[in-house]
Amino acid sequence: MAEFLQLLINGLAVGCIYGLVALGFVLIYKAGEVVNFAQGELVMLGAFAAFTFVVQFGLNYWVGLVLAMAAMAVFGGLLDMVVVRRIVGQPQFSTVMLTIGIGVVMRSGAAMVWGPETRSLPTPFDATTFHFGGVVLSAVYLAILATTVLLGLLLFCFFRFTRMGVAMQAASQNQLAAYCMGIPVKRVLSGVWALSAVVATIAGVMLAPISLVDTNLGAVGLKAFAAAVIGGFGSVPGAVLGGILLGLIDLFSGVYLPQGFKDTAGYIVLLAVLVVCPQGLFGAVGRKKV
């Protein structure tokens, strides 16, 4: 029982990270019809940015975090303004190639700047653990859960109550109409990229104590992509729940299923979901007319 509870909490935490990365995918996809295959690399860069500020510059952890988020927001916005915007309106295939290319460039760039070694990002909670009955909970995992819930609430309020948030919703639901309302759609889209990069940074920083920081951190993007598809690409709550589902499957299958299932179980579930309900669990009813 204790083992089950512990797996549950850890699975939820890992799932939250997947969910946040998936959220980044979904935000960009909904707003600009671009599937950003470099989302995992944004996570990696975010973690490296935090590493730079906290470890290399020796700043306070929280200050470093905020600076990393700000830097990544600028980076994400610029990425859209300078590179991605030029390919809007081209066939979907070009955007796929473009974002994959961006991902490769980012990974190599990171290797050139920070080197290929694996780094660790110390957090204020590293050594802290809590004991409840037989369950040992590490503060890192609890912090991940709390951050995700908080971030979810913040994002909800942002999209519901702020001018920019409503403009983002409008632009993602009907770009043409948003333009006619006087919403500067291009700037809003860059804003979405910035927001998505910030979410990716938070995910990267949360992932750092679990899996260390190196240039392969972006591999989480693949899992998150699966999570977004399970949730029905385009649904924000779906992305987070899909991520949590995958996280739980990851941990439970690693313990309760035979060796080797840890890495495949998630994708088996993905295939099953796609067979049973092709729009994903929370996909919009009625598909896009072509």
Partner 1 sequence: MGHLMEVRNIETYYGPTMAIRGVSFDVTQGEIVTILGANGAGKTTILKTISGLMDPQKGSVAFEGRDIQRMDPNRVAGLGISLVPEGRELFPFLSVRDNLQLGAYLRRDQAAIASDLERVFEYFPSVKARASQPAGMLSGGEQQMVAIGRALMARPKMILLDEPSLGLSPKLVKEIFEIIVRINREDRTTIVLVEQNANVALQVAHYGYILEMGRVVMADTASALLEKDDVKEFYLGIKDKGVRGVRRWKKRKTWR
Where on the chain is the footprint of partner 1 (CB under 8 A)?
163, 166-167, 169-170, 173-174, 176-186
Residue with tokens 């519901």: 160
Nearest to 232 by CA among 290, 155, 284, 267: 284
Least distance CB 51 / partner 1 (angstroms): 39
Least distance CB 28 / partner 1 (angstroms): 18
Residue 125 DSSP label: T
Mark 210-229 as b/e (b = at least 16 C-beta within 10 Å): eeebbbbbbebbebbbbbbb
- Based on CB atoms, which residue is closest to partner 1, 122 or 184? 184
Distance of alpha carbon 125 from alpha carbon 123, whole angstroms: 5
- Based on CB atoms, which residue is closest to partner 1, 180 or 255? 180
Phi and psi for 132 in degrees, rounded to 5?
-120, 110
Least distance CB 236 / partner 1 (angstroms): 11
Q: SS3 of 119, please?
A: strand
- Based on CB atoms, which residue is closest to partner 1, 35 or 168? 168
- Based on CB atoms, which residue is closest to partner 1, 131 or 289? 289
Least distance CB 224 / partner 1 (angstroms): 24
How far, CA to CA in Å, does 204 sit from each of 47, 92, 288? Answer: 5, 27, 32
- Based on CB atoms, which residue is closest to partner 1, 178 or 265? 178
Distance of alpha carbon 277 from alpha carbon 283, whole angstroms: 9
Residue 283 DSSP label: P
Least distance CB 141 / partner 1 (angstroms): 34
Least distance CB 178 / partner 1 (angstroms): 8
Q: How far is residue 283 CA from its own chain's centroid?
A: 18
- Based on CB atoms, which residue is closest to partner 1, 1 or 176? 176
Nearest to 201 by CA among 59, 40, 11, 37: 40
Least distance CB 83 / partner 1 (angstroms): 20
Least distance CB 117 / partner 1 (angstroms): 47
Q: Does an H or E element contain 220, and which?
A: helix 220-230
Q: How far is residue 204 CA from its own chain's centroid?
A: 8
CB 110 within 8 A of CB 202: no
Distance of alpha carbon 222 from alpha carbon 40, whole angstroms: 7
- Based on CB atoms, which residue is closest to partner 1, 6 or 172? 172
- Based on CB atoms, which residue is closest to partner 1, 129 or 162? 162
